[in-house]
Structure 1
Amino acid sequence: MEAKNQDGYSITIPLLCDEDGVKLGHNEQIAQNHNTGTTSFFKTFFNGLNALSGVGILSVPYALSSGGWLSLIFLFAIAFATFYTGLLIKKCMDVDPNIRSYPDIGERAFGSKGRLIVSIFMNTELYLVATGFLILEGDNLHNILPDMGFEIGGIQIGGKQSFVMIVGLIVLPTVWLNNMNILSYISASGVLASIIILGSILWIGAFDGIGFKEKGTTLNLKGLPTAISLYAFCYCAHPVFPTLYTSMKNKQQFSKVLLLCFVFCTISYTSMAVIGYGMFGSEVQSQITLDLPIEKLSSRVAIYTTLINPISKFALMVTPLVNAAENQFRNYCQKRSFSFLIKTTLVISTIVVALAVPFFGYLMSLVGAFLSVTASILLPCLCYLKIYRIYRSPGFELVVILCIILLGVSTAIIGTYTSLVEIIGHL
């Protein structure tokens, strides 16, 4: 049977209950909800790490060169803020056993309008992140094989564009998978790839003649908005967290998984930023792999491994998009062929956008400033404040959340403006 709780939301109550039926029923459902997942601690860790340690690792040296050494303070601040908001997402999901996705949290907090707003920001962010993967692949493959290209129906397709299309076809089979246990093995390869990339670039700087001679600048105020936006992009996996949380066998361990993922990723991002900036200074490109000497074996290892990384992450990032699309056509998606059609159409559309907007650094800066900050910092805070109503009893927790919101709003406004100006200037 269904009943209304004190906030007016529907909850399901088992028919068999004692004199405290409502409370017992709600707790029983939470317990049941906590046992519906099948993914283990380590598999969830690999999925979470794969979602967090994305292509941002290639852009952090460029971010550091934009903002200067002191901009690393903002990297750590954003890491803490996004870890905290990840915990807030978990708490929001624990309040109601019917919450299974990020849009569900928005609806629980602000009704149908909240669901719509969260869905728009979440899906747009994930879509553009997936598009960024294809742009990254095209850039690096074109760097290795600059003379690549072919002709279809009298239309000449350049090297970078052809590689974007080829990679899109390669990732398509991974999108057809819908099992988080299987995706965890693909995620493990992505985590290993990130470690290899970091190790290879360190080797290039230490033993292949480049060295770490660049001193860099202490602080560059003009480039600080770009730096902060790219740092925010590095931690933009929050729309995936509800999927990871619901897939876990033991959901009480999710906080530990989250902590390990953020610590590991922050160490990786900081190391790559310092190494890359020390090697190339202010001349470092938006993807550090584009600066590497192609003739060196270690460079080729780093570049080839970079090509594996987005392929391993693409399916994980678009899974919430696929779920949202399938929910809209629930009756039709009972047919496997229609589900395949939705997934294939999604991949094809990202290929088209990647061909139309080929500026990786500026696109990721825009995603980080506007979408990532909103989806990963602002929305979790606002939903948590509304659901738990802690603003009615001010305390330390409220102060922390308000500081995080202030950081998010400042980054969103300044970073979005800067990114749009750069994109328009290069069109």
Structure 2
Amino acid sequence: MEQCESGLLRYPLLENYNDELEVIKDYGTPTQGKTSFTKTVFNGLNALSGVGILSVPYALASGGWLSLILIFIVAIAAFYTGLLIKRCMEDDPRIKSYPDIGERAFGKIGRTIISTFMCTELYLVVTGFLIMEGDNLHNLFPELSLEASGIKIGGRESFVLIVALIMLPTVYLDDLRSLSYISATGVIASFIIIASVVRVATFDGIGFHYKGELVVWSGIPTAVSLYGFCYCAHPVFPTLYHSMEKKHHFSKVLLLCFLYSTIGYAFMAIIGYLMFGPNINPQITLNLPAGKLWSKIAIYTTLVNPLSKYALMLQPVVNATESWFPKFRKNIYFKIIIRTLLVISQVLIALIVPFFGYLMTLIGAFLSLSASITIPCLCYLKISGFSFKGEKLLVIGTILLSIIIAIFGTYTSLVQIINETLVITK
């Protein structure tokens, strides 16, 4: 442990995480402050665009039409906490990263908690990539299966193993900067997926025939948790802020990013629910007719992004795990063993818990809502004062609401995962 010029304590494990997070999002060096307003908006949209676009129709189907209001509530809350992060950084110019905010507010414990949440979220999101790849590839090639030593492996499980083997060599790389350029395609990919789904509905005979339910109370926790998963980009906001040439425009950047992404999510949720109604899968691509050209475009677009981002997003977890064994960190064989075991652990989770929607619900409820709404509010309460008394009540109310949602969403997702796992094992 050492102290830097800014006065903030630095821990090697967590400092590596911050460095790699910048590589993951490809936002450049945050201290340079040379990024234009337009590029920052694009980078912000890229951060907010992800696999959540596949699950929002399922979220809407889970909660009914009235649950669509919740995506706007979550978006507004997440936008507001983004502004709180900006205020924290303005209050103390030494803050350069999200863990720095936790350290500024609550010391070493705050930094450790925030970094733990971020690494856990990344680990589970990357595990979700394996599940998603297995599901979609099995949808394209349903007849494929593997057999080894007399043991037959099912199609979906076979694809999870194949994808893991393909991506494993990239995990051995230490310099991932070249891959980060490939991964910065979230905005374009989301647009292609939405356009492809609309094209399939309009011209391939599916149409928009389902009226749907007004509200499904039992599905509200699932819906709001999945909506929360869509807005989990807060850990990169400090990087975006410091990369800007004109930092006083950051509030406008946040407004545009949340506005455009929310419109995209809401539009995708509506058209998906109208197309498939209560029969929608946790990934809308699994509902698309696999033989149609535009369905294949949507599915292949869905498959490309995780393949390019897997190693990049797993790297902070790799750094954190290797830091537990400082004496062996430079040993190449040790690195190979640790990284292989990490991938194996994710494969096992993907095989044991093959429920993409439920896993995303768990991540959204327990991790995304905490990291994007609860933690920024708590840190802001500790770091800064308030411009008016009513704001303190607003922040406290936001904290309480996010905690309630997290509790019910986490409970619901765990129950669903356990029940489905028991059904499969029987």
How would you bin the TM-score normalised by the shorter chain?
Answer: 0.7 to 0.9
Bigger CA drift: 33-42 or 82-91?
33-42
Cα deviations across residues 310-329 of structure 1 (Å, max 9, x unaligned)?
Answer: 23443554454355456666
2:115 corresponds, among 115, 119, 122, to: 119
How do 1:44-83 residues align onto structure 2 when only pairs under 5 Å count? 44-83=40-79
Residue 412 of structure 2 corresponds to 418
Aligned match for 1:89, one of 66, 85, 90 = 85
Are 1:57 and 1:269, in contact at CA under 8 Å, matched by a contact in 2?
yes
Which range is displaced more, 258-267 or 380-389?
Answer: 258-267
Amino acid at match of 2:259: V
How far off is 1:274 after superposition?
0.4
Distance 1:238 1:57, change over 3 A: same
Provide the C-alpha distance between the structure 2 equivalents of 1:288 and 1:119, rounded to a whole number of angstroms: 32
CA shift digits 1:126-173 (9 cap, x unpaired) = 211111111111101011111222234554332212212332344456
Which segments of 5 or more consecutive residues in structure 1 lack a partner in the other structure? 13-32
| Cα pair 2:353 2:417 within 8 Å, conserved | no
Task: Give the secondary structure class of the aligned counterpart of 2:117.
Answer: helix
Letter of the structure 1 residue corresponding to residue 384 of structure 2: Y
* Residues 35 and 250, structure 1, Cα contact 8 Å, conserved in 2: no
After superposition, where does 1:233-312 map in structure 2 within 5 Å? 233-245=229-241, 248=243, 250=245, 252=247, 254-312=250-308
Partner in structure 2 of residue 130 of structure 1: 126
Return the match for 2:399 from 400, 405, 419: 405
Distance 1:177 1:271 in 2: 39
SS in 2 for 1:309: helix
Q: Is the 8 A contact 1:75 1:231 kept in 2?
A: yes
Aligned pair 1:186/2:192, yes or no? Answer: no
Which TM-score applies when normalising by structure 1?
0.82
For 1:45-100, what per-residue CA distance to the aligned partner results, in whole angstroms no more than 9, with x for missing partners?
A: 44433332111111111111111111111100101111222232233344445544
User: Residues 263, 332 of structure 1: CA spacing in aligned structure 2 closer, same or farther, 3 A cutoff?
Assistant: farther
Cα distance per residue 1:107-131 (max 9 Å; x no partner): 2211222223222222212211111
State the SS of the aligned residue for 1:363: helix
Kindly indicate whether the alpha-carbon contact (under 8 Å) linking 2:36 and 2:246 is maintained by their aligned counterparts in 1: no
CA distance in 2, matches of 1:36, 1:221: 49
Distance 1:318 1:251 in 2: 32
Letter of the aligned partner of 2:412 in structure 1? T
Question: Deviation at 1:340?
Answer: 7.0
**Offset, 1:294:** 1.6
Q: 1:249: Cα distance to partner?
A: 5.5
Which amino acid in 2 is paired with 1:108?
R
Question: What letter matches 1:353 in structure 2?
Answer: I
Q: Report the 3-state secondary structure (helix = DSSP H, G, I; strand = E; otherwise coil) of the residue aligned with 1:223.
A: helix
| Whole-angstrom CA distance in 2 between matches of 1:125 and 1:369 | 11
Q: What amino acid is aligned across from residue 384 of structure 1 in structure 2? A: Y
Of 356, 370, 374 in structure 1, the residue corresponding to residue 352 of structure 2 is 356
* Structure 2 runs not aligned, ≥5 long: 10-28, 422-426
CA distance in 1, matches of 2:250, 2:176: 19
Q: Deviations over 1:233-259 (max 9, x none)?
A: 11122234345555x263715444433
Structure 2 residue aligned with 1:151: 147
- List aligned pairs for 1:139-218, cutoff 5 A: 139-172=135-168, 176=173, 182=178, 185-218=181-214
CA pair 127-245 structure 1, distance change in 2 beyond 3 A: farther
Q: CA RMSD in A?
A: 3.2
Q: Secondary structure at the match of 2:185?
A: helix
Contact 1:92 1:387 in 2 (8 A): yes
Deviation of the 1:388 alpha carbon: 1.1
Q: Classify 1:151/1:241 alpha carbon distance in 2 versus 1 (closer, same or farther; 3 Å).
A: farther
2:380 maps to 384
Residues 89 and 165 from structure 1, CA distance in 2 versus in 1: closer, same or farther, beyond 3 angstroms? farther
d(CA) in 1 for partners of 2:51, 2:185: 14
Identical aligned residues as a percent: 61
* Contact in 2 for aligned 1:377/1:404 (Cα 8 Å): yes
Report the 3-state secondary structure (helix = DSSP H, G, I; strand = E; otherwise coil) of the residue aligned with 2:351: helix
Q: Which secondary structure does the structure 2 equivalent of 1:92 belong to?
A: helix
